[in-house]
């Protein structure tokens, strides 16, 4: 295997910092440069949020990461920015710089220009000296999920400045098992939220009265609004499908006809309030969204031991959100329906991201897989930590298998 020398990694860093993607992202430039510099220090095994906040993000000495989530928020944005860079400007770059989820020290990868049969298990190189491995093995192993998202094909070797690890065989099996039916024959229809509103961007928007299904001839009716979380969700699904050489049809909810939907696998993105097509779903769901004046939550109609009857998000400040992820039988035999429905647009985005990552899918599959590994229909609740209007970390807190 070929491992990137330190000088090549430094050149790659400069290439990223000078790119159009990062040109106006001064805070993220500063953060990335600081993290890479720390990674080059052989004595740096961990990096604390406090250190990053004070030294890289100009926070005062009394900075408290538990109160101010700036480090997690900016690191989340940096990961997204790096992915955008490698999707476009950096597609042909020889070196990958990535930050594993849940960690702050970067990892570095060199693309290998060889073809490896899918059934062949990669050869694991002998580990470097024990001193070079000091406290870092776990950090590199968790980089596997990040590399699966960024690397389109081929083998990647991942390392800090002084050591290496390889992607374990079968790391994408969770994605293949869960998403395989949706990849097959390019028959999936993604339906994103597209509610009917009254008003305008200057004076505010509000939902149109129930029962209005077509736009009247008035200028104050809006049927083209889509939340940023739904937009990011479509982008996440596009990356996932592209990575498996599959495609889907994308339609906003108000334009869906059930004649075309009946023969397809369906993927719903958005809550029932913004996704009218969801209103035709069965009414006997275990988890449903409920909203009132100053209140929003997920109702658990059949609480099981250890579960809550209501998962309600805090309104002020908004520190967490909830979403439903449901896998249901399709409208016709052999078809499936996936629902990603958050209380807010942030919850929807986090739910889609959760189901597009091997670690999130493993949590779902451990509970939903039946005899022979068959994935049974289920409904699940995902809790997401929110900071700076960005979903940061998600976890499975309840699942009902049918």
DSSP string across 85-135 = HHHTTTTT-SEEEE--TT--S-EEEEEE-----TTSPPPPPPP--GGGGTT
Spatial CB neighbours of 298, under 8 Å, sequence gap ≥ 6: 287, 288, 289, 290, 310, 311, 312, 322, 323, 324, 343, 381
Mutual angle of helices 143-150 and 358-368, in 10-degree steps: 110
Output the six-digit token pair for 202: 């200057």
- Quick one: DSSP state of residue 375? B
At 117 the pLDDT is 36
Q: Is the pLDDT of residue 24 over 60?
A: yes
Interhelix angle 143-150/228-243, rounded to 10 degrees, is 80
| Cβ proximity of 108 and 159 under 8 Å | yes
Bridge-based pairing of strands 248-252 and 188-192 is: parallel
Mean pLDDT, residues 350-368: 92
Query: Residue 324 — pLDDT band, cuts 50, 70, 90?
Result: very high
Helices and strands per DSSP (H, E), number in the chain: 11, 17
Q: Can you tell me whether residue 20 is helix, strand or coil?
A: coil
* pLDDT value of residue 151: 39
Phi and psi, residue 259, nearest 5°: -65, -45
pLDDT in tens, 191-237: 888 766 777 666 676 766 666 655 556 666 666 667 788 888 998 89
Q: Please name the residue that has the structure tokens 């991942």.
A: 158
* Total Cβ atoms within 10 A of residue 166: 19
Do residues 193 and 160 touch, judged by C-beta distance below 8 A? no
Top pLDDT among 125 and 86 is at 86
Lookup result for tokens 């940061």: 392
Domain boundaries, the chain: 6-166, 173-401
Using pLDDT thresholds of 50, 70 and 90, give the confidence band for residue 100: confident
Q: Give strand pairing partners of 155.
A: 112
Rounded Cα–Cα distance for residues 64 and 169 (Å): 40
Residues 82-92, mean pLDDT to the nearest whole number: 89
Q: What pTM value is reported for the model?
A: 0.62
What pLDDT was estimated at residue 212?
A: 63
Cis peptide before 317 (omega within 30 of 0): yes
**pLDDT confidence band for 2 (50 / 70 / 90):** very low
User: Residue 318: its pLDDT value, please?
Assistant: 78
Judging by beta carbons within 10 Å of its beta carbon (0-12, 13-18, 19+), is residue 196 exposed, middle or buried? buried
Which pLDDT belongs to residue 280? 62
287-313 pLDDT, tens per residue?
A: 998 877 767 899 999 999 999 999 998
Q: How far apart are CA 197 and CA 177, in angstroms?
A: 39
What number is the average pLDDT over the span 361-379?
91
Tell me: the pLDDT tens digits for 145-168? 333 333 333 333 333 333 333 333
Strand-pair partners of 134: none
CA distances from residue 37 to 32, 161, 209 in whole angstroms, order as listed: 8, 11, 56
């Amino acid at each position: 295997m070929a491992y990137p020398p330190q000088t090549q990694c430094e050149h790659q860093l400069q290439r990223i910092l000078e790119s159009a993607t990062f040109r106006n992202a001064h805070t993220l430039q500063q953060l990335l440069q600081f993290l890479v510099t720390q990674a080059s220090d052989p004595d740096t095994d961990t990096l604390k949020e406090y250190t990053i906040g004070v030294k890289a993000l100009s926070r005062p000495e009394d900075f408290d990461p538990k109160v101010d989530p700036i480090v997690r928020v900016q690191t989340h944005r940096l990961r997204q920015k790096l992915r955008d860079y490698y999707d476009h400007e950096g597609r042909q770059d020889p070196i990958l710089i990535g930050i594993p989820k849940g960690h702050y020290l970067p990892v570095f990868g060199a693309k290998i220009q060889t073809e490896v049969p899918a059934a062949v298990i990669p050869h694991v190189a002998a580990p470097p000296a024990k001193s070079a491995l000091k406290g870092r093995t776990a950090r590199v192993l968790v980089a596997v999920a990040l590399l699966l998202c960024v690397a389109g094909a081929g083998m990647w070797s991942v390392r800090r400045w002084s050591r290496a690890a390889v992607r374990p065989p079968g790391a994408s099996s969770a994605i293949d098992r869960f998403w395989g039916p949706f990849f097959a024959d390019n028959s999936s229809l993604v339906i994103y939220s597209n509610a009917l509103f009254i008003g305008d961007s200057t004076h505010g928007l509000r939902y149109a009265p129930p029962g209005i299904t077509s736009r009247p001839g008035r200028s104050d009716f809006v049927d083209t609004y889509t939340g940023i979380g739904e937009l990011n969700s479509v982008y996440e699904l596009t990356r996932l499908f592209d990575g498996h050489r599959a495609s889907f049809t994308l339609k906003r909810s108000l334009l869906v006809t059930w004649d075309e939907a009946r023969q397809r696998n369906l993927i719903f993105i958005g809550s029932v309030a913004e996704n009218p097509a969801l209103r035709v779903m069965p009414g006997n769901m275990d988890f449903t969204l409920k909203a009132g004046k100053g209140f929003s939550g997920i109702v658990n109609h059949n609480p099981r031991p250890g579960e809550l009857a209501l998962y309600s998000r805090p309104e002020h400040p908004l520190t967490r959100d909830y979403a439903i992820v449901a896998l249901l039988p399709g409208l016709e035999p052999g078809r499936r329906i996936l629902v990603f429905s958050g209380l807010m647009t942030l919850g929807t985005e986090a739910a889609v991201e959760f189901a597009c990552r091997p670690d999130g899918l493993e949590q779902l599959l451990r509970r939903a897989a039946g005899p022979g590994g068959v994935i049974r229909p289920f409904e699940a609740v995902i809790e997401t930590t929110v900071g700076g209007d960005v979903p940061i970390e998600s976890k499975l807190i309840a699942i009902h298998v049918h």
